[in-house]
Amino acid sequence: MTAFDLAAFYEAEFDEHAAVTAAARSALAAPFARLVAVSAEAIRKGGKIMLFGNGGSAADAQHLATELTVRYKTDRAPIAAIALTTDTSALTAGGNDLGFEAIFSRQVEALGKPGDVALGISTSGNSANVIAALEAAKAGGMTAAALGGRDGGKLKGLADPLLVVPSETTARIQEMHITIGQMLCGALELELGLVEGGA
């Protein structure tokens, strides 16, 4: 058995992260600008952002919704956002009674209103419950937006704006998703005039 080269592993992980960061920076400027625009419009009109995903993406949804509703960098007025991944009763009832594919779409139907933003997060772009929720959002007059990865999967042609991280590695995609999500928080604070500053 070949000895594990920890130093080489360490360097390779950072190298891959840097390469994906550079590729994402080049590819995602336009869809990111659109995501900021549609999100700001929704908030200005009294709407909200609903975030959802599975596994690590569920954690990202919860993390970002909290930074929007509570604070990101400084104290300011709240930004209306909710993670559809945190209500265990809704998730388990939906999964038990309607099937796992409906755990987010049912909440979108119940809580969403025209003009809201439904922001799905899926590293593969093929998560059935994320796809179903975005379809429900579109049917309800909401913006169906998404963070994806790889080739975009089933999110292509459904989500708009769609930010596809150009990588095949789940960990690298997730790293970019949380980076983009935190950039969204910061951009919304500035775009909505809730904090002073900017480049």
In a domain, 69, yes or no: yes
Residue pair 181/72 in contact by the 8 Å Cβ criterion: no
Peptide bond into 31 cis (omega under 30): no
The token duo for 23 is 């590729």
pLDDT at 196: 85
Rounded to the nearest 10 degrees, the angle between the axes of helix 6-27 and helix 29-44 is 70
In a domain, 85, yes or no: yes
In a domain, 66, yes or no: yes
Give the strand pairing for 81-83 and 143-149.
unpaired
For 37, the domain range is 10-191
CATH classification of the domain holding 168: 3.40.50.10490
Write out pLDDT tens, residues 84-101. Answer: 999 999 999 999 999 999
The structural domain count of the chain equals 1
In a domain, 5, yes or no: no
Residue pair 152/136 in contact by the 8 Å Cβ criterion: no
In a domain, 51, yes or no: yes
Residue reference for tokens 């779409």: 105
In a domain, 26, yes or no: yes
In a domain, 197, yes or no: no
Residue reference for tokens 């980076």: 179
pLDDT band at 77 (very low <50, low <70, confident <90, very high): very high
In a domain, 4, yes or no: no
Let me know how many helices (H) and strands (E) the chain has, helices first. 7, 5
Write out pLDDT tens, residues 101-147. Answer: 999 999 999 999 999 999 999 999 999 999 999 999 999 999 999 99
- The whole-model pTM stands at 0.96
Residue pair 129/94 in contact by the 8 Å Cβ criterion: no
